[in-house]
Amino acid sequence: MGPVRGLKKRRKVEKKPEENASASSEMERSVDWWDALSKRMNGLQSPSKGLDKFKSVFKISRKTFSYICSLVMEDMMAKPGNFTFSNGKPLSFEDQVAVALRRLSSGESLVTIGDLFGLHRSTVSQLTWRFVEAMEERGLHHLHWPSTDAEMMEIKSKFEKIQGLPNCCGVIDTTHVTMCLPSSDPESKVWLDHEKNHSMVLQAIVDPEMRFRDIVTGWPGKIDDWLVFQSSNFYKLCDKGERLNGKKVEVSKGSEIREYIIGDLGYPLLPYLVIPYKGKELPEINTEFNKRHSATRLVARRALARLKEMWKIIQGVMWRPDKHKLPRIILVCCLLHNIVIDLEDDDVQDEMPLSHDHDSGYRQRICESFDIEGVHLRDKLSVYLSGKLPP
């Protein structure tokens, strides 16, 4: 995973056995927590007839919710805090996770979430941040670059099935998380991007199942895509030959294709990063390559669109966000996105629209930089896909 600016190391709190035992008993006592919580929530009826109401509120299934609870329970319950509803009744652990997930998935204000659950806005804020910190600590294994040859081979095989691109390891793309900053804010100009919005960048490398494999966030939206990429650990590892350095594929006698990722014209053409041919009047072979390249890139565009659609806290315009906390919220939304995929929560994924418009209003910015080895790789791929390579 690439760097997340604002992420800080936290000291782990050791818990005594009796504390863990009390956590388990708390879970047992909360078997019917959702039925009780849903009755308390303004405008919701008891979901006892099924799980549809649960999914409509939290965007995930009960199975996925339970798994997320198991991830964050130890860290969240280790911290002192007596959270109560407006009627004085204490929140169960599941109630606390539910409040945080509703905040992240709906993007509604602290006041709106507080009104929904019968909580003070400060309680909503505290619970959301506790959850974010716990997910950072316990959920990072859901966002990683493939660590085994078998895992990478499966990724490359699935990419090839999309449009025939051999030995492709990922698709890179960038989106903007917009913010609302008053002009009186001394930092407002720093975050003003090329489209006159205040925004923060999220760069992601995506696998064929729309899973995030590497992210970089925290940079102001005015920073061009290629500069964000060149700031990343991924770029540095590739440049040193320590990533995208796996087995080459022989496409004809004496002709091999190395591992690479693909991106749009906002990125440089490198020995391991392939972008489309630029121009309108292109030879047929290059036009065909661009079509296949574009169709494969849809995986990343759809992943980012789904991320924003499912975790709406980063979809709209965020009001005066903490610029140090926002990257960590973005990271946790990416982790949650991956968890839904990793747990094969098909019902949830099937209900999500296959949109690919994740950065509405942002025009493509062009990077003119190229490496001659990248030129050779792209030409070789173009000829291979045309079927004109010698056997």
The yes-or-no verdict on residue 17 having pLDDT over 50 is: no
Report how far residue 42's alpha carbon sits from residue 317's, in angstroms, rounded to the nearest whole number. Answer: 25
What pLDDT band is residue 41 in, cutting at 50, 70 and 90?
Answer: confident
Q: Which among 271, 265, 331, 268 is positioned nearest to 6, based on CA atoms?
A: 331
Report how far residue 294's alpha carbon sits from residue 313's, in angstroms, rounded to the nearest whole number. Answer: 29
What pLDDT band is residue 27 in, cutting at 50, 70 and 90?
Answer: very low
Averaged pLDDT, 46-73: 80
Q: Is 146 left (phi over 0), alpha (psi -120 to 50) or beta?
A: beta
Every domain of the chain and the residues it spans:
17-138, 142-386
Q: What is the 3-state secondary structure (H, E, C) of 63-115?
A: HHHHHHHHHHHHHHHHCCCCCECCCCCECCHHHHHHHHHHHHHHCCCHHHHHH
pTM of the model: 0.88
Tell me if 183 sits within 8 A of 131, measured CB to CB: no
Q: Which among 382, 295, 335 is positioned nearest to 204, based on CA atoms?
A: 335
The yes-or-no verdict on residue 238 having pLDDT over 60 is: yes
- DSSP codes joined into one string, 8-47: ---PPPP--HHHHHHHHHHHHHTTTHHHHHHHHSTT----
What pLDDT band is residue 43 in, cutting at 50, 70 and 90?
Answer: low
Averaged pLDDT, 298-309: 95
Among 23-27, 38-42, 162-166, the range scoring the smallest mean pLDDT is 23-27
The mean pLDDT value of the chain amounts to 86
Between residues 253 and 239, the one the model is more confident about: 239
Structure tokens at 301: 């565009």
Averaged pLDDT, 156-168: 97
Q: Which among 369, 389, 370 is positioned nearest to 381, based on CA atoms?
A: 389
CB atoms within 10 A of CB 155: 18
Averaged pLDDT, 143-166: 96
